[in-house]
Amino acid sequence: MKRRDFLAGTAILVLSTMNSRATVISGGLPWTPNAGSPPVPVRPGPWHYFTSDEGHAVEALADRIIPPDPQTPGGKDSGCAVFIDRQLAGPYGRSDGLYTRPPFMPGTKQQGAQSAKGPAASYRDALAALDKYCQSKHQGKRFPELSDQEKDDLLKGLEDEKVKLEGVDGKAFFAQVIKDVQQGFFADPLYGGNRDMVAWKMIGYPGARYNYLDWVDRHNERFPLPPVSIMGRTDWSPKT
Amino acid sequence: MSRKLPKKDVVIVGLGWTGSIMANELTDEGLDVIAIERGPWRDTPTEFPPNYAQDELRYRIRHELFLRPEQTTFTFRNKMDQTALPIRDWGSFMPPNGVGGGGVHWNAETFRFLPSDFVLKTHLTERYGASFLPQDMTIQDWGVTYDDLEQHYDAFEYLTGTCGTAGNLSGQIQEGGNPFEGPRSRPYPNPPQKQPFSHTLFAKAARDLGYKPFPQPSGNMSQAYTNPLGLHLGPCTYCGFCEWFGCGNYSKSSPQTTILPFLIRKSNFSLRDNSEVIRIDLDRSGKHATGVTFVDTGGVEWEQPADLVILSAYAIFNVHLLLHSKIGSPYDPAANTGVVGRNFTHQTISSVNGFFDNKKFNFNPFISSGSIGMCIDEFNGDNFDHGPHGFVGGGYMGQVQTNGRPIQSTLVPPGTPKWGAAWKSAVRDNYLSTVKPGTGVHGSFYSYRDVYLDLDPTYKDRFGRPLVRLTIDFHDNELKQNVFLTDKFAEIIRAMGAHTVDKQYRKGPYDSTDYQTTHLNGGAIMGTDPSTSAINRYLQSWDVPNLFVMGASAFPQNPGYNPTGTVAALAYWSAAAIRKQYLKNPAPLIHA
Amino acid sequence: MHRARKPLILICAVAVWLSGPGFSGAANPDAQAFDQIEKGHYLATVADCYACHTVPNVGKPFAGGRAIETPFGVITSSNITPDADTGIGAWTDEQFENAVRKGLHPDGSRLYPAMPFPAYTKMSRDDVLAIRAYLATVEPVHQPVNSNTLPFPFNIRAAMRAWDALYFTEGEFQPDSHQSPTWNRGAYLVQGPGHCTSCHTPKSLLGGDKTSDNLRGFNLQGWFAPDITGDTNQGLGRWSEADITGYLKTGHNRLTAAIGPMTEEILNSTSQYSDSDLNAIAIYLKSLPARQDATTAQAASPVMTVGQAIYRDQCSACHGIDGHGVAMLFPSLAQSSLVHASDPTTAIRLVLRGGRSVATTAEPTAPGMPSFGWQLNDDQVAAVLTYVRNAWQTAAAPVSAETVGRARDQLRTRSD
């Protein structure tokens, strides 16, 4: 038979094994409609992972790591705690895809994290320890109920290792929270943080754009277009 | 018990750059070729379209396109007297997975090595004397020369539409190019990319200091391009989501944009995805490969018989498979015997960040590409006299900032708190006026007796096989080299007009959590002597003549450039030897 | 084992002149008359018998069994291999010609116009018999096919008698003596074996050609086959003859890329036409007058503003900030007849689901468009399409969110 050119979609044959995603591809580039894996935006609503107290504590942490100011909301109002909650409820929180086989042994700093605990479990344990610490040192108050100064002092203490949390590495925990809060602040709003792209507006980052060909040669000029998320911007809907 | 598949002429393990090049070459020879790829099929409009590829969290922070450590990882230690522990999440490098391999998410920086790089041992010994080299440095000559490879570098550059300015055309030094490069037979196929503001500022400062800056050779297209296979690439649109990401608009050279659409239409080519080769099968003599055994995602084992095996699985996975297939004698660092695992290297990367007055400088860092940049090569290789400095090697340096993706681009001047109101306002004030070159100093990493790969005694993969163990640390030579280079780089950053210059030296010990490019090399090196190399100058295994091993695993040491151009040139060189010599007479091409 | 491609073009140099209208050749070809067979092979390629009469990828050539989507339901193509039992091996030449040119089955029943006999009727008897001679040489396949798969009431073949009376005019192509032989050849190919009217001519409710609107576009299989007359915005007015021949031969030209059912037509058929035949078709199509454009409604300003924002943020990545795309890679929206078509079905479909253009030997890239259906709601799709249809000195009716919504619903059940 004369070998015909075939439209790509007809050229995929599937291996005849059960439970296998392996395919044999020949003849043309595969194509099926709506293929690929577009992101699923975070929807506002109740916490997916945090308890109510944990959520409040992380919101309070977020607001000290990124305090609100007249120009730009802080970590809480920009949704950083929502971001972390959804991340911990998902594959990141579970350490999906990481190598989690034993034995677990402590190593050097250069050998990286060797804990069996994933981020979700780490947060739970650390937030409990933080809660316990606050209540014992601040007459029963939880972290969100402390004054801003008290919060900052406590956090600086974690950084300097002058404040010790029971059973957890407080310094490592705070470093983790800083990282997660700041990532949530600057990530695409579809992940729950950076609400209304406030962080991107703050720094002048135009977002998920793809074509700057008309701007490469315009040196030292402010780029005028507003930021856009993967899920769009308000200008994608008519002004009412 | 494996299910046996119909025999093919050639089986290719891994369909990245070298796998795609070899498949295209060998199908042109009329051979029946099958490629087996561990990861999934990937293509532009589905896996990295320009409506969701530009997601920093997903693709850079959570590195979704890369291999999951759960599928395969390594153990790591700095020194031989330590216990290696698993790399549970990637850090200092990030291995690829899937059709296209690293070619999907690379920067597309397309350099050639220097002529002296290929004869490094001879060259340095002649110039500085044997005692100038550290005693435990195990550098070697490659067995090929730059001249052997020139036409193959050219072939890759024209396949991929590399954009640049030639510095040396047949011996004539050209204005605007790299004056130190080896002679090239013809210009680049495309003009260099346009450079954004901070990159042109760097070039001016470098020029004023007496250097000869040149545009980084880029595999991101400066204009629409049609390659020799008839495939079209579009112009790069400077989106700033290049390395770590797939390109959404066909403007980054990759197997997907430069080879696969042409290759897949050949009736003598097919590929299996989501199929992991776990072993190269040998006959009873142990000197002849009969094919490979692979496992699909359902856990079923298959045998693919073939007359010729091309191992193109990426440097460290090549070594992994050789060790598990018992091909070649494993390296023993104590006895200094064996070859598989010796001369493992990485790269010596550092940078200098510059902070500028935000009322005078607006860099729009988000307008960029993966291989944008203005570089100087005065301190690479042996381009300068090392005598006074007490180290060998070097690297190119440049303002090669590729992006302004915010999660990773919120630099603040040294001393700024890491959180709080001061942090927030510093980020606000500095984002648009910071120069963050990234791999600003791209230094060499030469080979040492105690930097190597072998099999871990404790940790296993999901098939119960030992993981590959990395024993790697920086040596004084590289650290000294880096101080020298970083200081030079900082001078240029300051001359650009930065009010604050923040030097980020590369310090030891080698840290597996701190990203330093994925230029892992060596472990199955090429050479002229079977007692110190695993493959001959044609990349043919000394032990199993119908096995050829592609990739940077062939590098006896790592020069101060990105490896892909040379990896591809070696593949073309090997393919030519297979087509012209080996196929006519399947046998060892070199008699040692 | 891989047979080399037959050098079709060389053989066709002879076949072209043999198959011109008005030439009367031998009445009864035999299996050794290989010039007749080669001519028939070429004409079968032009008429693209293979596409409908073969199940894609897995079917034996011409053995039928392919499910063909029509506005009235799914019909199954018949076995036209020389098998005596289940194919056409036992048919006489008369019976074969009656089927192809008159829509009559040997058993007396009538064929549905999914078999494009209203177009094939224009073919000369010699050409039809040459095809028969070729088909007689293909591998006979014993495969019974039930072609009666249309749902009630369309399965009543007798009703075709009335349909034929309304819509079918039997008769060979009559050359226009005022036109050149090349023009006439092009007209013959387009109207006859090429059967372009089958997809590109609007149809009445009962599926008959609206001949007054010949080749002005038709919606079928969830795609809109565009206007291929000389209309500037919606048709081939901006295309040169080289654009037309390049498109038919390779699937791509500087303005656009083939997508949807046309990709199959190009792969199986037009990419193998002789250069002179392609040239003739181009000359003929370029001669077709543009319609008198009705004044199109002005696109409302707020919609254009929204559309522009979406376009700049998203579509410009490939189609360029100025809408001109990249030649041979990303179609030029500014100049695309498909984008400006009165029926925006194809444009809507591409935005919602994405698509892959065709790979031919001359043009192997086959770039793909991603799907935006998950990202843009109906209002947004309508806005961005209205924008691209009106932004760059071109004009077309706005697209409404309701139209997009209906298309989205219909597409949900499709697998292609």
The percent of residues in chain B predicted with pLDDT above 70, rounded, is 100
State pLDDT tens for residues B240-287. 999 999 999 999 999 999 999 999 999 999 999 999 999 999 999 999
**A5 in B contact zone (CB under 8 Å):** yes
pLDDT for B544 beyond 80: yes
> Domain check: are B269 and B144 in the same one?
yes
User: C362 to chain B nearest CA, in Å?
Assistant: 7
Of A5, A7, A235, the CB nearest to C306: A235
End-of-domain residue from the set C136, C167, C198: C167
Assess if residue A102 is contained within a domain: yes
Q: How far is CA A91 from CA A104, B58, B256, B299, in A?
A: 21, 12, 29, 23
* Contacts of residue A103, Cβ cutoff 8 Å, sequence gap at least 6: B458
- Across the strands, what pairs with C395? none
Assess if residue C296 is contained within a domain: no
User: C92 to chain A nearest CA, in Å?
Assistant: 26
Question: Exactly one of B152, B442, B475, B519 is catalytic; which is it?
Answer: B519
Taking a C-beta distance cutoff of 8 angstroms, is the pair C335, C254 a contact?
Answer: no
> Domain check: are A187 and A81 in the same one?
yes
* Cross-chain Cβ contact A8/C356 below 8 Å: yes
Angstrom distance (rounded) from CA A100 to CA B434:
38
Per-residue model confidence (pLDDT) at position B558: 98
Assess if residue C295 is contained within a domain: no
> pLDDT-based confidence at B82, cuts 50/70/90?
very high
Assess if residue B245 is contained within a domain: no
End-of-domain residue from the set B456, B485, B509: B509
Contact residues on chain C for B261, CB-CB shorter than 8 A: 359, 364-366
User: B123 to chain A nearest CA, in Å?
Assistant: 35
Per-residue model confidence (pLDDT) at position C2: 38
State pLDDT tens for residues B336-389. 999 999 999 999 999 999 999 999 999 999 999 999 999 999 999 999 999 999
User: Where residue C347 sits, what CATH number does that domain have?
Assistant: 1.10.760.10
**B262 in C contact zone (CB under 8 Å):** yes
Among C306, C356, C414, pick the best mutation site for testing chain A contact (most A Cβ within 10 A).
C356
> Domain check: are B30 and B101 in the same one?
yes
Per-residue model confidence (pLDDT) at position C300: 77
Q: What is the mean pLDDT of chain A?
A: 91
Q: How distant is the alpha carbon of residue B163 from its chain centre?
A: 18
> Domain check: are A101 and A77 in the same one?
yes
Per-residue model confidence (pLDDT) at position A10: 37
Per-residue model confidence (pLDDT) at position C4: 38
Per-residue model confidence (pLDDT) at position C413: 84
Assess if residue B222 is contained within a domain: no
> Domain check: are A5 and A86 in the same one?
no
The average pLDDT across B94-121 equals 98
Q: What is the 3-state secondary structure (H, E, C) of B455-513?
A: EEEEEECCCCCEEEEEECCCCHHHHHHHHHHHHHHHHHHHHCCCCEEEEECCCCCCCCC
Assess if residue A230 is contained within a domain: no
The tally of domains found in chain A comes to 2
Is 0.90 exceeded by the ipTM?
yes
Interface of A with C (CB under 8 A): 1-11, 28-29, 31, 33-36, 38, 208-211, 213-214, 225, 228, 230-233, 235-239
> Domain check: are C146 and C202 in the same one?
no
> Domain check: are A87 and A122 in the same one?
yes
* Cross-chain Cβ contact A33/C366 below 8 Å: no
The tally of domains found in chain B comes to 2
> Domain check: are C187 and C124 in the same one?
no
The tally of domains found in chain C comes to 3
Contact residues on chain B for C367, CB-CB shorter than 8 A: 44-45, 232, 250
Assess if residue A193 is contained within a domain: yes
Assess if residue A219 is contained within a domain: no
> Domain check: are A84 and A193 in the same one?
yes
End-of-domain residue from the set C167, C194, C219: C167
Per-residue model confidence (pLDDT) at position A175: 97
- State the DSSP string of C303-349: HHHHHHHHIIIIIHHHH-TTS--BTTTB--GGG-TTTT-SSTHHHHH
Question: Count of CB contacts below 8 A, A vs C?
Answer: 104
pLDDT for B29 beyond 50: yes
Residues 202-241 of C with CB under 8 A from A: none
> Domain check: are A10 and A79 in the same one?
no
pTM, whole model, 2 decimals? 0.94
Taking CA atoms, what residue in A is nearest to C381?
Answer: A236
* Contacts of residue C207, Cβ cutoff 8 Å, sequence gap at least 6: C70, C71, C72, C113, C163, C167
Assess if residue C291 is contained within a domain: no
Residue type, C416: D
Assess if residue B226 is contained within a domain: no
Per-residue model confidence (pLDDT) at position A240: 65
> Domain check: are C152 and C12 in the same one?
yes
> Domain check: are A19 and A112 in the same one?
no
**C373 in A contact zone (CB under 8 Å):** yes
> Domain check: are B336 and B389 in the same one?
no
> Domain check: are B330 and B465 in the same one?
yes
* Cross-chain Cβ contact A238/C264 below 8 Å: no
Angstrom distance (rounded) from CA B164 to CA C66:
52
> Domain check: are A21 and A104 in the same one?
no
User: Where residue C209 sits, what CATH number does that domain have?
Assistant: 1.10.760
Assess if residue C2 is contained within a domain: no
> Domain check: are B47 and B102 in the same one?
yes
> Domain check: are A29 and A2 in the same one?
yes
State pLDDT tens for residues B499-530. 999 999 999 999 999 999 999 999 999 999 99
Per-residue model confidence (pLDDT) at position C149: 77
> Domain check: are C12 and C161 in the same one?
yes
CA-based radius of gyration for chain A: 24
| Neighbour subunits, C (≥3 Cβ pairs < 8 A) | A, B
> Domain check: are C196 and C326 in the same one?
no
**C73 in A contact zone (CB under 8 Å):** no
Residue range of the domain that includes B43: 1-126+136-162+251-345+446-472+518-592
> Domain check: are A17 and A102 in the same one?
no
Residues 1-20 of C with CB under 8 A from A: 2-3, 5-6
Taking a C-beta distance cutoff of 8 angstroms, is the pair B461, B74 a contact?
Answer: no
End-of-domain residue from the set C167, C200, C228: C167
Per-residue model confidence (pLDDT) at position C387: 96
pLDDT for B213 beyond 80: yes
Residues recorded for chain A: 240
State pLDDT tens for residues A98-155. 999 999 999 999 999 999 899 999 999 999 999 999 999 999 999 999 999 999 999 9
Q: How far is CA B436 from CA B242, B405, B439, in A?
A: 16, 11, 9
> Domain check: are A84 and A196 in the same one?
yes
**B517 in C contact zone (CB under 8 Å):** no
Angstrom distance (rounded) from CA B43 to CA B41:
7
Assess if residue A191 is contained within a domain: yes
Residue range of the domain that includes C357: 301-412
| Neighbour subunits, A (≥3 Cβ pairs < 8 A) | B, C
> Domain check: are B417 and B378 in the same one?
yes
> Domain check: are B20 and B153 in the same one?
yes
- Encode burial over B248-284: b for 16+ CB neighbours within 10 A, e otherwise: bbbbbbbbbbbbbbbbbbbebbbbbbbbbbbbbbbee
Angstrom distance (rounded) from CA B103 to CA B69:
19
Assess if residue A20 is contained within a domain: yes
Least confident of B450-454, B477-481, C39-43, C164-168: C164-168
The average pLDDT across A185-214 equals 98
Tens-level pLDDT at each residue, chain C (416 residues): 333 344 333 333 333 333 334 333 333 446 667 889 999 999 999 999 999 999 988 889 999 999 988 777 888 999 999 999 999 999 999 999 999 999 999 988 888 888 899 999 999 999 999 999 999 999 999 999 987 777 777 777 877 887 887 788 888 999 999 999 999 999 999 999 999 999 999 988 777 888 888 999 999 878 999 999 998 889 999 999 999 999 999 999 999 999 999 999 999 999 999 999 999 999 999 999 887 665 566 677 899 999 999 999 999 999 999 999 999 999 999 999 999 999 999 999 999 999 999 999 999 999 999 999 999 999 999 999 999 999 997 888 999 999 999 999 999 888 77
- Across the strands, what pairs with B82? none
End-of-domain residue from the set B456, B483, B509: B509
* Cross-chain Cβ contact C354/A34 below 8 Å: yes
Assess if residue C276 is contained within a domain: yes
> Domain check: are C206 and C309 in the same one?
no
> Domain check: are C142 and C250 in the same one?
no
Residue range of the domain that includes A30: 1-36
Annotated catalytic residue B519? yes
* Cross-chain Cβ contact C318/B235 below 8 Å: no
Assess if residue B360 is contained within a domain: yes
Per-residue model confidence (pLDDT) at position B1: 73
Q: What is the mean pLDDT of chain B?
A: 97
Contact residues on chain C for B49, CB-CB shorter than 8 A: 354, 370-371
Assess if residue A154 is contained within a domain: yes
Assess if residue B119 is contained within a domain: yes
> Domain check: are C87 and C127 in the same one?
yes
Assess if residue A237 is contained within a domain: no
End-of-domain residue from the set B485, B509, B533: B509
Of B231, B235, B262, the CB nearest to C326: B235
> Domain check: are A4 and A77 in the same one?
no
Of C329, C363, C371, the CB nearest to B224: C329
pLDDT for A76 beyond 50: yes
* Cross-chain Cβ contact C317/B45 below 8 Å: no
